[in-house]
Amino acid sequence: MGHYPSLTKVATSLGIDARELASKKEIKGGIEGFSRINLERCALSLAESGKWDAFMDVLALIIYGIVLFPNVENFIDFAAIDIFLAFKHERKSPIPAILADTYHSFTLRHERRGGMILCCLPILYLWFTSYMFKRGSQIEIKNKSEWAHNITNLSEKTISWYSREQNIDEVVCQCGDFPNVPLMGTKGCVNYNPALAIRQLGYPIRIPPVEDSITPFMVYDMTKELDMLNKIRHSWDRVIKKGRELGKRNCYVEGSYQQWLSERVQHVKLPFRGPILIIEETTIQEPMSLEEIEKLKEELAKSEKEREDMKRELIQARQKYQEVQREISQARQRVELAN
């Protein structure tokens, strides 16, 4: 909400002297926080003193600031610290904030027509590759041109929409008076539209979404939008979830949604530059159940045994063939001697 924890609270939570922590505070680009190197030195000092609980907290805080909620390079700001403390003391999941920063960065870069994506890139990469590649396939190192060709050739048939291993029974579809799901991150607020992502959660899409449910909004400066922040925060007290009413899980699109999607793609798709390499589409099947996997394992073991038996028979046949050849050779020699 723009009101970050005091130095005293941070020091108490981390088990560090408040005066020592205050001496390490810095300001970069108008943002308060701590440099990575100072927190690493603090963690080493705690490890040498045998204060392992405090050491783990400082290490986790570094990960929050550098990996999960990056802002200024090698700098852990108070926004990341606030989320870490919310998890440590109240067990509030950081996932909504990570999702908010990802959508916020994408939307901001799209509106400004370029710039650096600033969010948790490892999780974004994992999410992207989990849909783009078959499960269990090896992801090779690619250059920019190869990535561009792969991305521009993505289609409905080449995307793995849903993994049964996720086992999602209910989906958050709406919060409070919002027609979708508002998210609050470290850099601003943005809404998430489940109506456009329901297929990735394993449920079919039959009709076009209601326009209100996909209307985007953005909050850029959280210090000036306190009323909106309060509305978003209170909306999470009334979360609306859906499960069975979404239909039987199959990840298909039906009815008039396909036509609506085609028209929307023409309206919002990003322009591709340069020639696009046409790659033959391959259908990616849904992941198999455990029973199917076990059955395949049994069939594979049976095939391996049959292969070994055939290999053994082939060796025996070759040995017999060689013996017959030797007998024929010896017979020929005897005939020649007799002649």
- pLDDT given at position 284: 44
Task: Report the C-alpha gap between 24 and 45 in whole angstroms.
Answer: 14
Same domain membership, residue 124 and residue 195: no
Same domain, 22 and 62: yes
Asked if residue 88 belongs to a domain, the reply is yes
58 in a domain, yes or no?
Answer: yes
Domain count for the chain, please give it.
3
Q: What is the largest CA-CA distance in the chain?
A: 116
Q: What is the model's pLDDT at position 84?
A: 92
Give the type of residue at 169. D
pLDDT at 184 over 70: yes
Closest to 220 measured CA to CA, from 128, 100, 132:
100
pLDDT > 60? residue 97 = yes
Confidence of residue 15 (pLDDT cuts 50, 70, 90): confident
Name which of 15-19, 146-150, 248-252, 329-333 the model is least confident about. 248-252
23-58 pLDDT per residue, tens: 888 888 888 899 999 999 989 988 998 989 989 999
Residue-wise pLDDT tens digits, 215-231: 888 888 887 888 888 89
**Residues 117 and 218 occupy one common structural domain:** no
Q: How far apart are CA 126 and CA 133, in angstroms?
A: 11
Please indicate, yes or no, if residue 74 is contained in any of the structural domains. Answer: yes
**Angle in degrees, 0-180, between the axes of helices 78-90 and 52-63, rounded to the nearest 10:** 130
| pLDDT tier for residue 138 given thresholds of 50, 70 and 90 | low
My answer on whether 66 and 125 are in the same domain is yes
- Residues with Cβ within 8 Å of residue 118, at least 6 apart in sequence: 70, 71, 101, 105, 187
337: which 2 tokens? 């001697």
* Spatial contact of 151 and 270, defined as CB atoms under 8 Å apart: no
What's the pLDDT score for residue 269? 65
Domain that holds residue 189: 164-268
Residues 258 and 318 in one domain: no
Question: 238 and 332 in one domain?
Answer: no
Same domain, 196 and 262: yes
- State how far the Cα of 40 lies from the Cα of 58, in Å rounded to an integer: 8
Task: Verify that 39 and 121 share a domain, yes or no.
Answer: yes
Structure tokens at 21: 């922590």
Closest CA relative to residue 240, chosen from 290, 199, 181, 282: 181
Q: What is the pLDDT of residue 274?
A: 47
Least confident of 64-68, 168-172, 269-273, 297-301: 269-273
Q: How many CB atoms lie within 10 A of CB 154?
A: 13
Are 135 and 216 found together in one domain? no
DSSP 211: G
In a domain, 273, yes or no: no
Q: DSSP per residue over 91-151, as a string?
A: ---SHHHHHHHHHHHHHHHHHTT-----S-HHHHHHHHHHHHS-TT-------HHHHHHHH
Same domain, residue pair 264 and 335: no
Residue 61 has pLDDT above 90, yes or no: yes
Question: Of residues 310 and 5, which shows the higher confidence score?
Answer: 310
pLDDT above 60 (res 335): yes
Please list the residues that pair with 189 across neighbouring strands. 184, 219
Cβ(78)–Cβ(161) below 8 Å: no
Q: Specify if 149 maps to a domain.
A: no
Q: Say if residue 19 is in the same domain as residue 132.
A: yes
The pTM (predicted TM-score) of the whole model is: 0.68
Question: In which region does residue 325 sit, left (phi positive, over 0), alpha (psi from -120 to 50) or beta (all else)?
Answer: alpha
Query: Residue 1 pLDDT > 50, yes or no?
Result: no
